[in-house]
Chains A and B, each alone.
Chain A
Amino acid sequence: MSKIIEGLKYSESHEWVKVEGNVAVIGVTDFAQKEMGDITYVDVPDVDDSFEAGEDFGALESVKASSDLYCPVSGKVVEVNEELEDAPEKVNEDAFAAWIIKVEMSDASELDALMDAAAYKAMIGE
């Protein structure tokens, strides 16, 4: 049974979004980290990079596979979690604490297209 946190937004590609004012804090879900297995590398973008909603902004690598990360909202990267570079295992330890990037949203209405906790739970079938 994967951990899901109420109050966050979720994408179909298993990213979570925590809204802090105009900034979206983005990470991957507990379900995603379990599916990936032991994460060995987190490929993050640079601060000031801009992404459209649905565009890939980085990747996770595990002993099993490599998987792209998709930006759930459009905007500019204002901060990246540099700690993950040397400690990718933090994503496995607590996927909701190990945020990956913070994005200044250019269109907050895009959040409406994302799922809430209940809808995400139904999607992963748990």
Chain B
Amino acid sequence: MKYYDKLIFECSKPGRVGYTLPANAFPKAEGLPQGLCRRQAPALPEVSEPEVVRHYTLLSQMNFGVDSGFYPLGSCTMKYNPKINEEVAAMPAFAGLHPLQSAPGAEKVLEEMDKALAEITGLSRFTFAPCAGAHGELTGLMLMRQYHLNRGDNARTKVIVPDSAHGTNPASAAVAGLEVVEVKSLSNGRVDVEALKGLLDEHVAGMMMTNPNTLGLFETQIEEIAALVHGVGGLMYYDGANMNPLMGLVRPGDMGFDIMHLNLHKTFSTPHGGGGPGSGPVGVAAPLVPCLDQIRVSAWHGNFGVILRAYAYILMLGREHLAKVGEYAVLSANYIKECLKDVYKLPIEGVCKHEFVFDGLVNDGAHDEVPGATTLDVAKRLLDFGFHAPTIYFPLLFHQALMIEPTETESKETIDAFIAVMRRIAEEAAEDPTLLQEAPHTTPVSRPDETTAARSPILTFQDA
């Protein structure tokens, strides 16, 4: 790979053109306020077409994505995105639509997608307005509040969130103007139901849960939890980030959830991360359907092109194969876990769902007499072997958390290659930890100074 970090402006040569426009046939506008008139030409880069193409192609080669390699980023479901999704989204009849246009075809897609997601989740109706997961959470919590207000109950100010939750859960609740109350996990990684009982009263608006939770463990007492929260008049919110292992097998609506969001860019194979945008449709149970018309979080129907891609994915797999997604995702995660648990610390034994968390290496470097390395070192070293690093230092329940989610779309060969590399890294940690501590050795950038970057960030381009 060729190292390349130029800006398009650095490629610019005065007077160079890539495209010549015809002469302007319109007269110059008269009478515009002076303050609004441009006094000099805009500072656009002056480059030829091949320079533009090379510039962006080289930049794209500096990137790592699921199209270039294995990406086991826990909690993010970095599955392969089938190219037929792109083909459907690029169809001119969809791609050329204007939001104000009457478009029966697009409306039909939304209608069918609503039915499909309702069937998959066991809820009644979906709104497609939210543009990402956290946007969905905020929408869901606004719906939760609205539901209580509609009943004339304005005393519900608390939202219960487990300590294993995604950071977005308490953040969304706070933005929605609700008070966050944390409930602890037991040593088996599940919500402490006895502790939960102590938090429940008539001020609880609802409880947010992810199931399976961020440790990849199914909350086995979910029915009891939902009954307890409902018992005091609260609602259950399902964070759909971890829906992948359950699709077609178990439904949040049947577990007792009243509101949920889905991350189409995770579970339903639409582009994710830098390649987004995302889509976070929110579904509600029947009693909350009227609230959907009372909350407005974005214009139109959210990111329609993303919804379309997810719709293509659902139709392509169909009911039978959607249920296979979770089975393969769970199998892959458990296979990796069992193959590595002798050299990486597994804090909670047992069968996981689509992801699991190690608490760092067995040789974690915490004891001076035994050589070892930290989770950060393992993650950095993985880059040398062409794998994206897993999620690290999350969830906060374990100090050296290393969270692996392989997804269902990887072959056994890829997964075996990853396991072999993880074992090799564990050996290196014991024999030559500096190899890990100085990694990565093969990437264009090794270890950026994250601390200085966070303490004194330089947020604009500075000529070196």
* A positions within 8 Å CB-CB of B: 35, 38, 40-41, 61, 63-65, 88-89
Contact = CB atoms under 8 A, between A and B. Distances in A.
Contacts of A40: 451, 454-455
A67 B455 CA distance: 16
B451 A64 contact: no
Contacts of B396: 65
B463 interface: no
B393 A41 contact: no
Instruction: Classify chain B: how many residues form its interface, as a range.
Output: under 10
A65 B451 CA distance: 12
A88 B396 CA distance: 22
B455 A88 contact: yes
B393 A89 contact: no
Contact of B393 (A38, A61, A64, A88): A64
Nearest to B392: A64
B369 interface: no
Contacts of B399: 35
Interface of B: 393, 396, 399, 450-451, 454-455
A63 B175 CA distance: 23
A71 B150 CA distance: 38
A104 B67 CA distance: 59
Nearest to A35: B399
7 contacts: A35-B399, A38-B451, A40-B451, A41-B454, A63-B450, A65-B396, A89-B451
A40 B455 CA distance: 5
Contacts of B450: 38, 63
Contacts of A35: 399
Which residue of A41, A61, A64, A88 has the most chain B CB atoms within 10 A of its CB atom?
Answer: A64
A5 to B, nearest CB: 24
A69 to B, nearest CB: 16
A65 B454 CA distance: 12
Contacts of A88: 455
A33 to B, nearest CB: 13
Nearest to A40: B454
Given A38-B450, A38-B451, 15 more contacts: A35-B399, A38-B454, A40-B451, A40-B454, A40-B455, A41-B454, A41-B455, A61-B454, A63-B450, A63-B451, A63-B454, A65-B393, A65-B396, A88-B455, A89-B455
Contacts of B455: 40-41, 88-89
A44 to B, nearest CB: 16
Contacts of B454: 38, 40-41, 61, 63
A121 B396 CA distance: 23
B279 to A, nearest CB: 28
A90 to B, nearest CB: 11
A41 B396 CA distance: 19
A109 to B, nearest CB: 27
A61 B454 CA distance: 10
Contacts of A89: 451, 455
Contacts of A63: 450-451, 454
B391 to A, nearest CB: 13
Which residue of A41, A61, A63, A88 has the most chain B CB atoms within 10 A of its CB atom?
Answer: A63
Which residue of A38, A88, A89 has the most chain B CB atoms within 10 A of its CB atom?
Answer: A38
Which residue of B396, B399, B454 has the most chain A CB atoms within 10 A of its CB atom?
Answer: B454
B377 to A, nearest CB: 14
A89 B455 CA distance: 9
A58 to B, nearest CB: 16
B411 to A, nearest CB: 34
B371 to A, nearest CB: 20
A61 B455 CA distance: 10
A63 B449 CA distance: 10
Nearest to A37: B451
A35 B396 CA distance: 11
A79 B281 CA distance: 47
A35 B366 CA distance: 13
A63 B394 CA distance: 12
A41 B451 CA distance: 10
B147 to A, nearest CB: 29
A64 B454 CA distance: 11
A85 B455 CA distance: 10
Nearest to B450: A63
A63 B450 CA distance: 7
A65 B399 CA distance: 11
A65 to B, nearest CB: 6
A100 B382 CA distance: 39
Contacts of A61: 454
A35 B454 CA distance: 18
B167 to A, nearest CB: 8
Which residue of A40, A41, A65, A88 has the most chain B CB atoms within 10 A of its CB atom?
Answer: A40
A125 to B, nearest CB: 13
Which residue of B396, B399, B451 has the most chain A CB atoms within 10 A of its CB atom?
Answer: B451
A63 B393 CA distance: 10
A88 B393 CA distance: 21
